Amino acid sequence: MVVESYGEVDILDESHIVTVRKTIREAASRIGFGVTDVTRIVTAGSELARNAFHYAGRGVMRWQEVENGQSIGIELVFEDHGPGIANLEQALEPGYSTSGGLGMGLPGTKRLMDEMDIRSRVGEGTTVTVRKWRRK
């Protein structure tokens, strides 16, 4: 049996956010995260999927199992080719939204995950990478 330790979900339609959530839930559970961490990871991934769909119209989520010296973990990468984010610092402030939203997606995601990296260029798109670690 081959154990899948990476995968990809296209986000082309609002319903695919549900697919992203399900995929992350299964992957994080299989990697061995407890229910509380699984919920945190799913919630974070859901916000990033919503952002890709809402601001860029479409995107892709890739996940993989990762490993460092002490821990194994999960990495999620959300990539889109939408408008990009002009001011990242501002986008990460709780309450900042250009769409009349709560402005809690990015700051919430940062709080729920161990690492977050955002690469964005106006007119080119946005790639958000998040990681969560668990003890081996």
Ligand X SMILES: Nc1ncnc2c1ncn2[C@@H]1O[C@H](COP(=O)(O)OP(=O)(O)OP(=O)(O)O)[C@@H](O)[C@H]1O
Residue 104 beta carbon to ligand X: minimum distance, rounded to whole angstroms: 4
In 3D space, the residue among 49, 63, 62, 65 whose CA is nearest the CA of residue 13 turns out to be: 49
Question: Is the Cβ of residue 13 or residue 67 nearer to ligand X in the bound state?
Answer: 13
76 binds, among Mg ion, ligand X, none (CB under 5 to 8 A by kind): none
Interface with Mg ion (CB under 5 A), residue from 59, 73, 82, 105: 105
SS3 assignment for 40-109: HHHHHHHHHHHHHHHHHCCEEEEEEEEECCCEEEEEEEEEECCCCCCCHHHHCCCCCCCCCCCCCHHHHH
Residue 136 beta carbon to Mg ion: minimum distance, rounded to whole angstroms: 33
Interface with ligand X (CB under 6 A), residue from 11, 42, 82, 131: 82
Residue 69 beta carbon to ligand X: minimum distance, rounded to whole angstroms: 32
Examine residue 98 and tell whether it contacts ligand X (CB under 6 A).
yes
Query: Backbone dihedral region of 95: left (phi > 0), alpha (psi from -120 to 50 degrees) or beta?
Result: left
What residues line the site for ligand X (CB under 6 A)? 47, 51-52, 55-56, 80, 82-85, 91, 96-99, 101-107, 126
